[in-house]
Structure 1
Amino acid sequence: MKKTTFLKSTASKFAPTLVAASMAVAALPALAADYEFNIVHLSNTSDEDYDGAVVLKDYVEAQSNGRIQVNIYSGGQLCGNPTECIEALQANLIQVFNTTTGGLANVFPEIQALDIPYMFPSDRIAECALNSELLAGPIRKELLDRTGSLRLMTIGNTGGWRNFATTNTQIKTPADVKGLKIRTINSPIQMELVKAMGGSPTAVPWPEVYTSLATGLVEGSKNGITDIMGMKFNEHIKYMTLDGHAYMASMWWMNNDSLKDMPEDLQHIMMDGFDALRMVTTVMPKRRQIEAYNAFKAAGGTIYAPTADEKAQFQTAAKPVRDWFITEYGAKWVDITQNAVNACEASIDKAYMAQQ
């Protein structure tokens, strides 16, 4: 079973921009708040990550009567990529940061179990499982044990579900993926999914996706509709297939020392604030996708929802990805995730049947 060690960093390892920005923050005049936290997210201010950060800031500042001050830095102002931001979080140069599983995969590859294709059958099961102590609890403990500094505060969503989106070919079954050059994030499990369906995975940095679609370097991507419309990928992408192969979970991390340095009453306020953040980031993609899908169709795009039989074909085609993951990283985190899903399905079904 392959594992990587999460190495702790010092400020000397950070990029010059991070150090300079941190020094600039330190040079600001002292404020009245007893505790000050810097939240960093890499998306822009039109993203649900920003909405969640604003809600967290408003809640904790109001409920603490100004004893806590929260500063929000969007678009990579203090650090430019997940690795750099996680290092900054460990060093307590920033106090809060959020990642997808892909953003954490280079330091905790087993977390990719959350991205095993079709692991989560629906929004309500995903939302239940990801924040249950059956799953969130072990993730929190694992990262604290490995790093001593990263505490999982909550898991929200950033962009809905990953779906296949293509420029010239409508995908209805996994057979339609064969031969297509599909853009993925730099995550092994995302690449394995495309390979399993006969496609050619191509890792392309987010800022380069538009040009890659325009030039034909890639013939499709795996994204949610709000990201596609927000980045104007629809100028090249004309087909979407709602296969929902991955729920785009967003894990919000806080420096453990910065949390534990506060008195217990303020720690509880922070935890409540993160729960408010979770609710906002979970709901906003659902609301925003309505206009996004309508705009996509108005611009000539076609949206296809696979039938039950076609969805089963996708699930069968993706099974080798789960097998690959277990070979690479062991079954522990697959079992933890699957058990949380099973428990949520049983609980929800029981509650529904009790209403009959």
Structure 2
Amino acid sequence: MNNLKTFGFAVLFVISFGISSTAAEKTIKISFMGAQSDEDMHGSLVFKDYVEATSNGTIGVQIFHSAQLCSKFVECIQGVQANTFQVTISTIGGFGLIFPKAQVLDLPYILRDDRVAECFFDGPFLADLRGAVMEKFPKLRLMMVGNTGGWRNFMTTKTQIREPSDVKGQRIRTIPADIQKEMVKMLGGNPTPISWPEVYTSLATGVVEGTKNGITDIVSMKFHEHLRYATLDGHAYMAAFWWLNNDFWNSLSHAEKIIVNDGFYHM
């Protein structure tokens, strides 16, 4: 009996040692500004579970949400380029700050609905854009385009927007992208660029009187605690551009590239 117990403990030790010694050989760090409760986090968790399980733990994934490693879109993109972390997500507006041509995708009302938008972003456009970006930024690889928050809508704290003229005089939060600022300006409003982590406080203190975001972002960031009105005009599709450091991509074996690529498409 004692010999049997000894043998049993020995087997458990070997099994435990084998499991604990299977450490990740490569690590992918994902950094983004969204909250822990929003869809960017959900997508990242799906990616993490798929990549770690499919690679048998040889590729590990760490997730840094809520602007832990970067607090502005440009900082996040620069972090990927520097390989400080390997993955980030940006909206069209954020991406357009470093690649101005992309701002054409933020023109209001050019995409009719989800079906049209998804058909467009899943088509040849993806490969064309990836190639164009890598010509200018060789370390920045576009992996996929998803959605982060649905559609942009006008949300306000004091005055409801029922028609375009209602925007006049209102301080509306935008990002620094020219097209987003110009849209508010053409409607008679005052575009006010505010970084994402500062939007909640800016709404609370009256620095801005409205913002242009998707409903899920409004809820996850608790902006609704200060917003009173929502105008569901859906003026822009909130495409989510997922970026990977290209040097890291090139360091992967063929089999690892398949796992990582499939991980993005499982999001």
TM-score by length of 1: 0.65
Of 17, 21, 29, the residue aligned with 1:38 is: 29
Which stretch of structure 1 is more off in the superposition, 204-213 or 244-253?
Answer: 204-213
CA-atom RMSD, angstroms?
Answer: 1.8
More helix by percentage: 1
State whether residues 67 and 197 of structure 2, in contact with CA within 8 Å, keep that contact through their aligned partners in structure 1: no
Instruction: Give 2:242's aligned residue.
Output: 252
Residue 176 (structure 1) shift: 2.0
Q: Helix, strand or coil for the counterpart of 2:135?
A: helix
> Aligned in 2, Cα 1:31/1:219: closer, same or farther, shift over 3 Å?
same
Q: Helix, strand or coil for the counterpart of 2:133?
A: helix
Instruction: Give 1:74's aligned residue.
Output: 65
Instruction: Give 1:117's aligned residue.
Output: 108
Give identity over the alignment, percent: 52
- Whether 1:47 and 2:47 are equivalent positions in the alignment is no
Which stretch of structure 1 is more off in the superposition, 230-239 or 186-195?
Answer: 230-239
Instruction: Give 1:294's aligned residue.
Output: none
Distance 2:197 2:30 in 1: 22
Q: What residue identity is the alignment partner of 1:163?
A: N
* 1:198-235 residue CA offsets vs partner (Å, 9 max, x unmatched): 22211222333333333433222111222222333223
Residue 159 (structure 1) shift: 1.3
1:139-154 map, 5 Å = 139-154=129-144
Q: What residue identity is the alignment partner of 2:59?
A: I
Aligned residues between the structures: 247
Of 56, 62, 81, the residue aligned with 1:90 is: 81
Instruction: Give 1:238's aligned residue.
Output: 228
Instruction: Give 2:92's aligned residue.
Output: 101
Residue 31 (structure 1) shift: 6.8
1:198-237 map, 5 Å = 198-237=188-227
> Aligned in 2, Cα 1:233/1:91: closer, same or farther, shift over 3 Å?
closer
- Please identify the structure whose Cα radius of gyration is greater: 2
Instruction: Give 1:194's aligned residue.
Output: 184
Residue 237 (structure 1) shift: 1.7
Residue 54 (structure 1) shift: 0.8
Of 19, 32, 55, the residue aligned with 1:64 is: 55
More strand by percentage: 2
Distance 1:233 1:35 in 2: 38
Distance 1:215 1:140 in 2: 40
- Whether 1:265 and 2:250 are equivalent positions in the alignment is no
Instruction: Give 1:320's aligned residue.
Output: none
1:297-312 map, 5 Å = none
Structure 1: tracts of 5 or more residues without a match: 1-29, 278-356
> Aligned in 2, Cα 1:89/1:115: closer, same or farther, shift over 3 Å?
same
